[in-house]
Structure 1
Amino acid sequence: MVTADDIGWFKRQFRTQTQAALAGTPFDLDMIVAIACQETGYIWAVLRKKELSLDRVLALCVGDTIDFRGPGKGRQAFPRNKEALVAEPNGQAMFDIARKALEDMAAFIPGYKDAVANPKKFCHGFGVFQRDLQFFKVDPDYFLQRRYETFADTLAQCLGELRRGLKKLGFESRTSLTDLEFAKVAIAYNTGGFNPAKGLKQGFFDGEKFYGERIFDYLELSRTVETGTALAPGRYVVVARGGLKLRGGPGTNFPSDRTLAAGTELTVVENDDHDPAWVRVDLEGDGLLDGYVFAGFLAPAEQHVAAREDVPEPA
């Protein structure tokens, strides 16, 4: 189950890109977080604690191995099974990608052990927001080129589906939505429609709650998670084990040509105006700006030195 700490991590990583993409829509950051939690939270909440790059975490956000088991049972949409997929143009190439994705993800998520044991099993859902392989027929390059591994691309597909949900509910002209209204849109996102008589009890049922109920719960939880507390200007030290990327702007969508090693001292000059989770830094102490780093992997230099001095020498 996704926790508030997991949501805080997700917001810190993807807030800048998400908020930029939401301009002109009635959606907000917490709504998108709720979709991410429901679709692949059980994956990225685990992977974020491993020593993996963010790009690798994104690439491993795949799932759904359910095949057709008869009329009304199991998967009904294309591709119902391996045979249906490989029969399509480039189907074998797609199967190879989907199978490898399953194997790679299952190495970290034990619940997929049985699926991996069956050589015909493969993933049907791709990306943080799980674009379904049924769209392979109309947009094969998205899957074959593995564009779902890029956050901006998987988010764009998510927003496209959410807009279709808005249309189904007659919300196209809305500039904002209540949390309950968004849960209804999310149900349409998941199922293709919304039945008012069923309320939130629609969509995938996990044995305890329906998709709509889970979305509403995650949305309410996300509303309670604050991130991006501003750092006071001053001296800090990098505490990321694998180093911290120096970027040209406040977000992971900005390029990086340098990684600052753990223990690197720097000066935080100011927090970004729009996203205080990112700070502008001076590496040389000469008052000139060198770029942006993610504030969550910085610690006050004085505290860091004190912590090191308190460690006893080996006997």
Structure 2
Amino acid sequence: MVSVDDIRWFKQHFRTQIEAALPGTPLDVDMIVAIACQETGYIWSVLRKKNLPLDRVLALCVGDTIDFQGPGRGRQAFPRNKALLLAETNGQGMFDIARDALEQMSAFVRGYERAVANPDKFCHGFGVFQRDLQFFKDDPDYFLERRYENFADTLAQCLGELRRGLKKLGFQSRTSLTDLEFCAVAIAYNTGGFNPAKGLKQGHKDDSGKYYGEQIFDFLTLSRTVDGAEVLAPGRYVVMARGGLKLRGGPGTNFASEKTLPLGSELDVVETSSLDSTWVRVDLEGDGLLDGYVFASFLSPAQQHMASREDVPEPA
């Protein structure tokens, strides 16, 4: 179950990107967080504790291995099974990606043992917001190029689906939504429609007996209690961005990048920016001189990082 601490972690890493993508919509950050919690919270809430690089966490946010089990049972959308996926152009390449994604994720997240044991099983949902493989026919490059591993790309797809839900419910011109109205949009996001007579009891029903709409409402309510603000204490940290972390002249992406600090680089955090607490001022040489600013979410305490490295299992 996603906790307050999990949501705080998610907001610390992604709030800025979410806020930048929402102008012109009636949506807010907590609404997007609720979707992320419902779709893959059970995955990233586990992975975040493994001290994996953030881009690795994003790449492992995959799921849904249910195949077609007959009319009205199991998966009804394309591809219903491995054979139907292989029959499509580039289907073998897509299966290889989807199968590998399942194996990689299952090395960290329990509950997929039976799926992995079946060589015909593969993932159907990709990215933090779980874009479904049914869209492979229309947009194969999104999956084949693994764009779902990039948060901005998976967020854009999520917002596209939510906009369709807004239009379906006649909310496209609204500047704000109540929480219950958003849950209706989220149900349309999940099922393609919304029946007012059924209220929140719509969408996928999980093992606890709760419907998708009810889960979204619960996650939204919980997210509204979490501000996501955290200030890094001064001290020694390690760069956790796989592609490196840009050192900038000021606290923001509008400042020029002076250099890129490689994954694993150690540095001293001297202070948090008074203008934006998601940026910290750093000393690269340990000589007391200030070198610039980096985005705080891609730093991990050096002592914690070293203590946990040997405990992190590597996917087979």
Q: Please indicate the TM-score interval, normalised by the length of the shorter structure.
A: 0.7 to 0.9
Match of 1:210 in 2: 211
* Cα offset, 1:241, TM superposition: 8.6
CA distance 1:192–1:269, change in 2 (3 Å)? closer
CA distance 1:290–1:219, change in 2 (3 Å)? same
CA distance 1:174–1:53, change in 2 (3 Å)? same
CA distance 1:260–1:40, change in 2 (3 Å)? closer
For residues 298 and 110 of structure 1, the distance between their equivalents in structure 2, rounded to whole angstroms, comes to 25
Q: How many residues align?
A: 292
CA distance 1:85–1:266, change in 2 (3 Å)? closer
Which has the larger Rg? 1
* Cα offset, 1:297, TM superposition: 5.3
Aligned-partner SS, 1:218: helix
Match of 1:311 in 2: none
- The AA in structure 1 aligned to 2:296 is F
Per-residue CA deviation, residues 106-137 of structure 1 (Å, 9 max, x unaligned), is 11112011000111100000000000000000
Per-residue CA deviation, residues 77-128 of structure 1 (Å, 9 max, x unaligned), is 0000001100011011101110000011111112011000111100000000
- Confirm or deny that 1:268 pairs with 2:271: yes
Contact 1:238 1:261 in 2 (8 A): no
* Length-normalised TM-score, structure 2: 0.85
- Provide the alpha-carbon RMSD of the alignment: 2.6
Superposition map of 1:236-251 within 5 A: 236-240=234-238, 245=245, 247-248=247-248, 250=252
- The AA in structure 2 aligned to 1:98 is A
- The AA in structure 2 aligned to 1:221 is L
Superposition map of 1:30-41 within 5 A: 30-41=30-41
Contact 2:187 2:202 in 1 (8 A): yes
* Cα offset, 1:220, TM superposition: 0.5
Match of 1:219 in 2: 220
Match of 1:126 in 2: 126
Q: Where in structure 1 do 4 or more consecutive aligned residues deviate above 6 Å?
A: 260-263
* Cα offset, 1:238, TM superposition: 2.4
Contact 2:268 2:282 in 1 (8 A): no
Aligned-partner SS, 2:235: strand
For residues 37 and 58 of structure 1, the distance between their equivalents in structure 2, rounded to whole angstroms, comes to 13
Superposition map of 1:99-178 within 5 A: 99-178=99-178
Per-residue CA deviation, residues 127-152 of structure 1 (Å, 9 max, x unaligned), is 00000000000000000000000000
* Cα offset, 1:10, TM superposition: 0.4
Consecutive unaligned residues of structure 1, counting only runs of 5 or more, are 305-315
- The AA in structure 2 aligned to 1:272 is L
For residues 268 and 194 of structure 1, the distance between their equivalents in structure 2, rounded to whole angstroms, comes to 49
For residues 137 and 261 of structure 1, the distance between their equivalents in structure 2, rounded to whole angstroms, comes to 39
| Percent sequence identity over aligned pairs | 66
Match of 2:293 in 1: 291
Consecutive unaligned residues of structure 2, counting only runs of 5 or more, are 304-316
CA distance 1:261–1:87, change in 2 (3 Å)? closer
CA distance 1:28–1:247, change in 2 (3 Å)? farther
For residues 228 and 11 of structure 1, the distance between their equivalents in structure 2, rounded to whole angstroms, comes to 8
- The AA in structure 1 aligned to 2:293 is G
Contact 2:62 2:126 in 1 (8 A): yes
For residues 165 and 90 of structure 2, the distance between their equivalents in structure 1, rounded to whole angstroms, comes to 30
Per-residue CA deviation, residues 21-52 of structure 1 (Å, 9 max, x unaligned), is 11211111111100000000000000011131
- Confirm or deny that 1:76 pairs with 2:81: no
Match of 2:58 in 1: 58
